[in-house]
Amino acid sequence: MRKIDPRNFQRATRTTTKDINRQIVLNLVREYQPISRADLARRMEVARGIVTPLVNELIEQGLLVEGATGASARGRKPTLLHVRAHDRLAVAVDVRLSETQLMLTDFSGRSIATELLATPPRPEELVEALAARIARLLEAHSAAGACEGVGLVVPGMVDRATGRLVNAPTLGWRDVDLRGALEAAVGLPVHVERDAVACALAQMWMGQGAASHGPDSFAYVTFSDGVGAGLVMGGHVVRGHRDAAGEFGHIPLSLDGPACLCGSRGCWEAYTSNQAVVARYLGRELATRESYAEVRATRFTVADVIARARAGDPAAREALEATGRYIGLGLAAIVNALNPARIIVGGEIASAWELIRPPLMAALAERTLTQGTAATPVIPEPHDPQTRLRGAAALVVAPVFAAPTIG
């Protein structure tokens, strides 16, 4: 689905369909609300008589609502328009290796309630646990009738046509029918997406960060239990032929490097994931899948490494600086391959930006091919535990506002 840029759009003509203009109106209201019909007409550079029937249709469809009247220098005060959001709800679910978060949210992205549970070791146990939690969450907030779907974010590759989780190396799950099983259990539409893509969708649709720049070209790279990239080009999420685009975390930096949870060695993820950062500080070697579990068992975190580095621990600082260099080397591959307008770095490591930025940018400059690409803006997103949840919510919300498919 493609996002309409409310700052740069082309309205429909008689040779196309009014569906385009209707979606433009909807997105303009979403971006500039509260807004009057007259202001909508001015932004679209059309007569008010063209805007009014489109607004009326959107009100009849329950997508827009009229609010208070605005100020007017003369004549009748205009009635201001808002997107109907407060009573349209979604459940967002973020599945990670150790824990799973749930959030009940409205269509504006406002969090109503959150819950946390330990991620079960088996996918069928996760579906059972989620179904119980979702039912309880909706009942507690009298939201069953207002909930329009569930957005489920997972750390692995997803077949969007079937909703199956194809491969999640960090979880050790393959070929799992998450969508079908959860839909049957909760009786709601379920949308499943890869975590890095969800982070990119949060930027595009849920009013955060890169959304303010419009839907151009950017890469959102997330560093957590795993590493992945959500790629957006011209307002489109790049998915690839089999929905596997963006798995830069499994491009090797070295053929004989540390073990990766995917089964290979030397993957970018094996150098830059949370466990890799902690292992680097502790002097551990990630030689097997079991060694990852041993690092997690220490209960030491990236936040702990960052805190020690800021307190003057030279080993912690060296671990972060080395991680910054490895991040820069991988980002160079993204820049050389796709040349995005900017890169957003998310995950726990982003909160140590002042420590990792110098080696990161040096490595990026070292491995990119031109001065222009070396100057690609790399922007940290301060650690936000709800980024993936906002992306999960976008799976339900975004289709309402996406550009229509014509032809």
Domain that residue 42 falls in? 18-83
Q: Is the link from the previous residue into 34 a cis peptide, with omega within 30 of 0?
A: yes
Decide if 9 is inside a domain: no
- Number of alpha helices (DSSP H) and beta strands (DSSP E) in the chain: 14, 15
- Identify the CATH number of the domain in which residue 50 sits: 1.10.10.10
Decide if 1 is inside a domain: no
**DSSP 8-class letter at 267:** B
CA dihedral in degrees (204, 207, 210, 216; nearest 10)? 40
Reading the block at residue 1, the tokens are: 């689905």
In this structure, the answer to whether residues 124 and 272 fall within a common structural domain is no
In this structure, the answer to whether residues 134 and 148 fall within a common structural domain is yes
Cα(111)–Cα(390) distance, rounded to whole angstroms? 9
pLDDT number for residue 138: 95
In this structure, the answer to whether residues 153 and 292 fall within a common structural domain is no
Contact of 253 with 267, CB cutoff 8 Å: yes
In this structure, the answer to whether residues 250 and 276 fall within a common structural domain is yes
User: Regarding beta strands 157-159 and 164-168, do their DSSP bridges make them parallel or antiparallel, or are they unpaired?
Assistant: antiparallel
Decide if 357 is inside a domain: yes
In this structure, the answer to whether residues 320 and 182 fall within a common structural domain is no
In this structure, the answer to whether residues 255 and 169 fall within a common structural domain is no
Decide if 269 is inside a domain: yes
pLDDT number for residue 194: 93
Cα(35)–Cα(82) distance, rounded to whole angstroms? 7
Decide if 304 is inside a domain: yes
How many domains, in total, are found in the chain? Answer: 3
In this structure, the answer to whether residues 327 and 230 fall within a common structural domain is yes
- Identify the CATH number of the domain in which residue 219 sits: 3.30.420.40
Cα(61)–Cα(65) distance, rounded to whole angstroms? 10
pLDDT in tens, the chain (407 residues): 667 777 766 666 664 567 888 989 999 999 898 899 999 999 998 888 889 999 999 999 999 999 876 665 565 678 899 999 889 999 999 999 989 999 999 998 899 999 999 999 999 999 999 999 999 999 999 988 899 999 999 999 999 889 999 999 999 999 999 999 999 999 999 999 999 999 998 888 875 443 444 447 899 999 999 999 999 988 888 988 887 888 899 999 999 999 999 999 999 999 999 999 999 999 999 999 899 999 999 999 999 999 999 999 999 999 999 999 999 999 999 999 999 999 999 999 999 999 999 999 999 999 999 999 999 999 998 667 788 999 999 999 998 888 776 54
Decide if 10 is inside a domain: no
pLDDT number for residue 57: 94
Decide if 153 is inside a domain: yes
In this structure, the answer to whether residues 301 and 364 fall within a common structural domain is yes
Residue-wise burial string across 246-283, b where 16 or more C-beta atoms lie within 10 A, e elsewhere: bbbbbbebeeebbbbbbebbbbbbbbbbbbbbbbbbee
Work out whether the CA dihedral 27, 235, 407, 179 comes out positive or negative. negative
In this structure, the answer to whether residues 358 and 235 fall within a common structural domain is yes
Contact of 163 with 348, CB cutoff 8 Å: no
CA dihedral in degrees (41, 29, 381, 222; nearest 10)? -110
In this structure, the answer to whether residues 224 and 340 fall within a common structural domain is yes
Decide if 105 is inside a domain: yes
pLDDT number for residue 289: 87
In this structure, the answer to whether residues 136 and 185 fall within a common structural domain is yes
In this structure, the answer to whether residues 242 and 100 fall within a common structural domain is no
Contact of 284 with 295, CB cutoff 8 Å: yes
- Cα atoms in the 13 Å half-sphere on the side-chain side of 331: 37
Q: Give me the phi and psi of 238, to 5 degrees please.
A: -85, 120
pLDDT number for residue 205: 81
